[in-house]
Amino acid sequence: MTTFPTDEPVLVTGATGYVAGWLVKELLDAGITVHATIRDPGDTRKTAHLQEIAATAPGTLRFFKADLLNEGSYAEAMAGCAIVFHTASPFTSSVKDPQRELIDPAVKGTRNVMETAARTPGVKRVIVTSSCAAIYTDAIDCSKAPGGVLTEDVWNTSASLDYQPYSYSKTLAEQEAWKIAEAQERFKLVTVNPSLVIGPALNDRPTSESFNIVRQMGDGTMKRGAPKLGLGVVDVRDLARAHMEAGYREDADGRHIISGHNTNILELGKALIEKYGDRYPVPRQSLPKWIVWLVGPIVGDISRKFVANNVDVKWRADNTKSKRALGMTYRPMKTSMEEMFQQMIDAGAFGK
């Protein structure tokens, strides 16, 4: 069991986010002082869930104002911290200006945090929340990887500003992080590369793209079927634990694929049938690829190239390193989906 020293504070960027919330909880429960950066510390609607956790946890929570695009804005929050967890980065597929909405916040924000860390005495390690999106763009890329399986040695080479800009933003941001890390000797960089994150949120108004996908499984959008769109998934609580292990294990090094299951959208939906199938129109059958190809660009702004490269294409990634180097174990996918879906029901996401 990894020990978590409590004598030095740590910094968590984007602390009110879906992943960051569970990480902050883990840190506070371990008795650690957390410096949490957000754009507006005075917005109690966004901080209430973290304040509630901190009220009964042995750790201490302090909020600081910072912005990804405001150079130097992380300096005050980072002062005195031993570890920096950089989780802040936009995750959305609905963008009008990919450069402004995705690339700039991801790359410039990472540069801002990394360069501040390089100037801050006491920072020993930086953990960057990257993504499997920095490893691949489409499920078809798995077949091109050595042995047909994605590993930490693989980098995304097929995303661009015009095609899958989110994946492009995560690739450029992680590359920027490694470039800065290798040019200094103050801290060690470790990255975690999760697949699609699922599971319940601590915030009752989560904005992660994952919730948009699962919402369609309960509101009737997928009642005629769901595509076998290949992807990987990981529970948000397992991902938070991976951050902790990456931060405090002495020998943690390099990149780590954090993914519990190789699966597809249909299988995610089918995981809900046993508990919710009698009350909600969860998907039970495969939506044929030709239908997705035909209607995707019309109803969902899904390009035919994306359909060709992902639907009915198996996604495979090797999570062996995370198990060996970080001691990771992963929750059953069914558990994650049921708890996520139930939270959405309780929040009225499906209008019942």
Catalytic residues: 170
CA distances to 30, 93, 144, 208 from 83, rounded to whole Å, are 15, 30, 36, 25
The CB density around residue 3, as the number of other CB atoms within 10 Å, is: 8
Q: In what order do the strands lie in the sheet with 188-194?
A: 60-65, 33-38, 10-13, 83-86, 125-129, 188-194, 254-258
List beta partners, residue 129. 192
> Is the CB of residue 214 less than 8 Å from the CB of residue 340?
yes
List beta partners, residue 350. none
CA distances to 21, 27, 88, 244 from 33, rounded to whole Å, are 14, 8, 19, 14
From CA 13, how far away is CA 126, in angstroms rounded?
A: 11
